[in-house]
A and B are shown apart, each in its own frame.
Chain A
Amino acid sequence: DGGITQSPKYLFRKEGQNVTLSCEQNLNHDAMYWYRQDPGQGLRLIYYSQIVNDFQKGDIAEGYSVSREKKESFPLTVTSAQKNPTAFYLCASSISQALGYTFGSGTRLTVV
C-alpha cells in the first residue's frame, strides 16, 4: 500500500544536538511538507517542497533545515538553533493543490 513513512515514532535527544527526522513516501507525489504540532496551536508549516531540489520556508523555519534530493524523501533536521524543539512533527505530501494532503503518522521529538 502507498503511504508516508515517518521514522522513528519517538525520538529523544539532548539539548544542543542536531537531529534528523525521516520522511519517505511511495505515492509518487511531487509536493511534500513538514508541519509542527504543539498542544492548542494546530499545525504550523516549517518547510515545503513542490519539486525535487527545490524547497521553501514555511511560517516557522528558523532552526530547521531540509533537503529534497529525491522525490520520495524529504528529511527534516532540527538544529541546535531551534529554541523549543520538543513537539510532534508531521510530514505530508500531495499530488495537486486541488487534492488533499496525506500525512505520515508523525515523530514525537523530546529534547532534554
Chain B
Amino acid sequence: QVTLKESGPGMLQPSKTLSLTCSFSGFSLSTSGMVVSWIRQPSGKSLEWLAAIDWDGDKYYNPSLKSRLTVSKDTSNTQVFLKITSVDIADTATYYCARSYYSGTYVMDAWGQGASVTVSS
C-alpha cells in the first residue's frame, strides 16, 4: 500500500525558510521511473506544482519559484524534502507531496493528505 505523509512547522514568520518533509512507504524512490512532487494549495484556491525529484536525483522546479526552492531526498530513498526561502503571507497554503510512477513524470497517482502552513508575524 502506497502512503505519503507531509510534515512541517505549521506556522512560521515572514522572511524565514520553510522546511517540509514527505515521508512515504509502499515504494522506493530508488526505483527507476519513480518521481515525488510537491504541490501546494492556498485555502479556497487551485493547485500549484512546485518541484519534483526523480529516482536518479534529477530535480525539476516551477520556473516562477525556482530561485526560492530546493528539493532533495534522503539516502534511504524514503523521504523527500522541500525548502522554500524568504517566505511571505502568499506562501500560506496546504502543501502536498505526491508520487508519479506508472503514468508519467507529472501524473500524480498517489497523494498525501497535506500539511497546513501559515506564514504570519
Co-complex (A, B): no
Residues of A within 8 A of B (CB): none
